[in-house]
């Protein structure tokens, strides 16, 4: 149990001062009962807390899946471009959020945004080998030789070695779509892996992290809160 004003700050409803006013104005309800005292205690996991009738998630940590659009950067602040934090819906905004991992500015797809550093560290740790799967549209067809090179582990021109990766040829008449699964996060990794094979990536989209898939009902640019099952599925079914 925690004070309602503290929980509402945690839930992104405003500063301590703002939320105390909101509470005194009678705009807050706990389980359907108006609460006018900032010192009232509530449980962020089991109580339904609303402001003006809108539920506020007051849990300490939140986990958001975003279908990142091209043109925004995977950062918390940037003085030139819009960031993935800038485009979060107002009700999900709160302090301390950051993208767990990076997608290039021109890459679309699944990105997790959280304020839980332990979760992000676990997900990004090279030792955990969490799989990331991408759909890559290419300027040239994939051959069986390309598939084999990915499987053996690509070596970049500077000598950097990649772990073995899975490359499947996606459904298309010209074999110019690759479905790539990697378990590391080197800078521009997928683009550089294809580049090492003389192929240019013209469009890249991440479709899953571990067993967590983007699915088809999260339109580009939109977000949803992850369930506990979503969180667990990040860590299951990895290839290495
Ligand atoms: N590999 C890339 O080249 N770019 C990304 O955004 C992610 C993986």
Segment 75-92 mean pLDDT: 95
Q: Report, as residue numbers or ranges, the catalytic residues.
A: 104
Structure tokens at 86: 């800038």
34's enclosing H/E stretch is: strand 33-34
- Give the residues surrounding ligand 1 with Cβ less than 6 Å away: 103-104, 107, 188-191, 204
131-209 to CATH, choices 3.30.70.1560, 3.40.718.10, 3.40.50.300, 3.40.50.1100? 3.30.70.1560
Residue 132 alpha carbon, nearest atom of ligand 1: 8
Architecture of domain 63-126+214-233: 2-Layer Sandwich (3.30)
Q: Would you list the domain boundaries of the chain?
A: 2-55, 63-126+214-233, 131-209
Per-residue pLDDT tens digits for 66-78: 999 999 999 999 9
Q: From ligand 1's centre to the CA of 193, what distance in Å?
A: 10
Distance between CA atoms of residues 40 and 58, nearest Å = 14
pTM of this prediction?
Answer: 0.92
> Which has the higher per-residue pLDDT, 220 or 128?
220
Among 73, 134, 214, which residue has the most ligand 1 atoms within 8 Å of its CB, making it the best to mutate?
134
Among 107, 178, 192, which residue has the most ligand 1 atoms within 8 Å of its CB, making it the best to mutate?
107
* Residue where the block lists tokens 């506020």: 56
Sign, CA dihedral 213-218-223-229, equals: negative
CATH for 2-55? 3.10.290.10
Per-residue pLDDT tens digits for 169-183: 999 889 999 999 999
Per-residue pLDDT tens digits for 189-219: 999 999 999 999 999 999 999 999 998 899 9
Q: From ligand 1's centre to the CA of 230, what distance in Å?
A: 22
**Pairing relation of β-strands 98-99 and 49-51?**
unpaired
Structure tokens at 151: 């499987």
149's enclosing H/E stretch is: helix 144-152
Neighbours of 149 (CB within 10 A): 18
**Do 63-126+214-233 and 131-209 have matching folds?**
yes
Neighbours of 90 (CB within 10 A): 6
Residue 25 has pLDDT above 70, yes or no: yes
Q: From ligand 1's centre to the CA of 41, what distance in Å?
A: 45
**pLDDT value for 238:** 65
């Amino acid at each position: 149990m925690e004070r309602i004003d503290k929980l509402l700050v945690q839930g992104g409803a405003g500063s301590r001062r703002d939320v105390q006013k909101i509470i005194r104005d009678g705009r807050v309800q706990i389980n359907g009962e108006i609460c006018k005292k900032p010192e009232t205690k509530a449980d962020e996991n089991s109580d339904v807390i609303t402001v003006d009738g809108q539920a506020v998630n007051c849990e300490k940590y939140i986990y958001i899946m975003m279908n990142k659009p091209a043109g925004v950067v995977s950062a918390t602040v940037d003085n030139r471009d819009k960031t993935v934090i800038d485009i979060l819906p107002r009700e999900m905004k709160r302090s301390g959020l950051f993208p767990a991992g990076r997608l290039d500015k021109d890459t679309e797809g699944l990105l997790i945004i959280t304020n839980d550093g332990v979760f992000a560290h676990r997900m990004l740790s090279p030792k955990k080998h969490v799989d990331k799967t991408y759909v890559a549209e290419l300027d040239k067809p994939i051959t069986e030789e390309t598939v084999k090179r990915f499987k053996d582990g690509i070596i970049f021109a500077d000598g950097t070695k990649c772990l073995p990766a899975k490359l499947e040829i996606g459904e298309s008449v010209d074999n110019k779509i690759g479905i790539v699964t990697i378990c590391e996060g080197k800078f521009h990794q997928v683009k550089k892996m294809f580049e090492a094979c003389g192929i240019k990536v013209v469009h890249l989209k991440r479709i899953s992290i571990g067993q967590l898939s983007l699915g088809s009902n999260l339109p580009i640019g939109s977000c949803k809160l992850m369930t506990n099952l979503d969180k667990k599925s990040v860590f299951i079914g990895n290839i290495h």
